[in-house]
Amino acid sequence: MRAADHVPVLLDETVDLLQPRAGGTYVDGTVGGGGHAEAILERSSPDGRLLGLDLDPEALDRAAERLRRFGDRVTLVHESFADLERVVRWNGFAPADGILLDLGLSSFQLEHPKRGFGFRVEAPLDMRFNPLQQTPTARDLVNKLDARELADLLRRYGEEPLAKPIARAIVTRRQRRPIETTAELARIVESVAGRARGKIHPATRTFQALRIAVNRELDALERALPQAIEVLGPGGRLAVISFHSLEDRIVKRFFVDQAATCVCPPGLPVCVCGRKPTIRILTRRAVRPTPREVAENPRSRSAILRCAERLAG
């Protein structure tokens, strides 16, 4: 599969909000196959620069290939957006004019025969965005956590209503032998939740929960957002595309908090907190894909885009 096989989500909407311009400096915290990055570089021709981060070395290789024609306008680094401020400053991209976080995983990763992100492809249960790091894999979590911890994980990160029975089924099954592959795990979930009927496979939430836990995704997002505001210049914009309510809630709350003018308790006659907003929210209502985009790219169906602009001061 080639880089072009990952179709960037909400592409026009994201680029319209980021408003790339010649001479600008842009950071794509999740460069993936380079789809959004390519559009940002095109719109900021002839000399806008882009710093692309990704935890996945294979994604960086694909992005490098796709973005080669932009030459030294592009810098790609194998880093996490959880360390955004350090990475952006170190590479000379602060103050930035625009930052993008397109969360989650790419189609390339989902369909990769060895990465273990999806239940439609039989693969070892890995799910690490960065397979070079010696951190626990999905296999480790599935085979080592006790039933309570597993149920908690499935409930918290997958919002899985059948968390308890699925966790129990996992623990029972692994007593015979360890659970090694995506297909084995999907079958265990099916044994509890039934076989796929509608559009959503019953193992979707279990796989999402494990992936979020393996990569500590919510933690990375919570760390990245304030750092993004720190490195944006006045008028610089931050766009975040989330794919489920857990992520979107974090982004929405952060934006509302940063845009707040006064956080005094209600009832005080005058403001005593002296709070100044750091951003202006540009998407009062989150931007969603059009029915046409969803029809053309079903992966986009749960995408939620929010954008804010850094205020001066």
Q: Is 54 in the site for ligand SAM (CB under 6 A)?
A: yes
Pair 166, 206: CB distance under 8 Å: yes
Pair 258, 40: CB distance under 8 Å: no
Taking CB atoms, the residue at the shortest distance from ligand SAM is 32
Return the residue of 25, 80, 137, 278 that touches ligand SAM, per CB under 6 A.
Answer: 80
Pair 212, 218: CB distance under 8 Å: yes
Return the residue of 8, 24, 116, 118 that touches ligand SAM, per CB under 6 A.
Answer: 8
Q: Is 293 in the site for ligand SAM (CB under 6 A)?
A: no
Q: Is 20 in the site for ligand SAM (CB under 6 A)?
A: no
Q: How far apart are CA 137 and CA 53, in angstroms?
A: 22
Q: Is 252 in the site for ligand SAM (CB under 6 A)?
A: no
If one counts every other C-beta atom within 10 angstroms of the C-beta of residue 191, the result is 15
Task: Please list, in sequence order, all residues whose beta carbon lies within 8 angstroms of the beta carbon of residue 23, skipping any fewer than 6 positions away.
Answer: 44, 47, 48
- Nearer to ligand SAM among residue 127 and residue 154 (C-beta): 127
- Nearer to ligand SAM among residue 106 and residue 182 (C-beta): 106
Point out which residues pair with 76 in neighbouring strands: 52
Q: How many CA atoms lie within 13 A of 226 on its CB side?
A: 4
Q: Beta strands of the chain (E only): which ranges?
A: 25-28, 49-53, 74-77, 96-102, 232-242, 279-281, 304-310
- Nearer to ligand SAM among residue 33 and residue 202 (C-beta): 33
Q: Is 53 in the site for ligand SAM (CB under 6 A)?
A: yes
- Nearer to ligand SAM among residue 38 and residue 160 (C-beta): 38
The binding track of 122-151 with respect to ligand SAM, each residue x by CB under 6 A or -, is: -------x----------------------
Pair 21, 44: CB distance under 8 Å: yes
- Nearer to ligand SAM among residue 7 and residue 281 (C-beta): 7
- Nearer to ligand SAM among residue 34 and residue 202 (C-beta): 34
Point out which residues pair with 52 in neighbouring strands: 28, 76
Point out which residues pair with 232 in neighbouring strands: 96
The residue count for the chain: 313
Angle, to 10 degrees, between the axis of helix 217-231 and the axis of helix 245-259?
30
Closest CA to 52 of 33, 309, 110, 221: 33
In the complex, least distance from residue 110 CB atom to ligand SAM, rounded to whole angstroms: 10
In the complex, least distance from residue 283 CB atom to ligand SAM, rounded to whole angstroms: 18
Return the residue of 40, 82, 185, 250 that touches ligand SAM, per CB under 6 A.
Answer: 82
Q: Is 55 in the site for ligand SAM (CB under 6 A)?
A: yes
Return the residue of 20, 24, 34, 98 that touches ligand SAM, per CB under 6 A.
Answer: 34
Q: Is 247 in the site for ligand SAM (CB under 6 A)?
A: no
Q: Is 59 in the site for ligand SAM (CB under 6 A)?
A: yes
Return the residue of 25, 30, 206, 297 that touches ligand SAM, per CB under 6 A.
Answer: 30
Retrieve residue 198's tokens: 């509608």
Return the residue of 15, 26, 49, 81 that touches ligand SAM, per CB under 6 A.
Answer: 81
Judged by the rule CB under 6 A, the positions of this chain that interact with ligand SAM are 6, 8, 29-30, 32-36, 53-56, 59, 80-82, 102, 104-106, 129, 215, 220
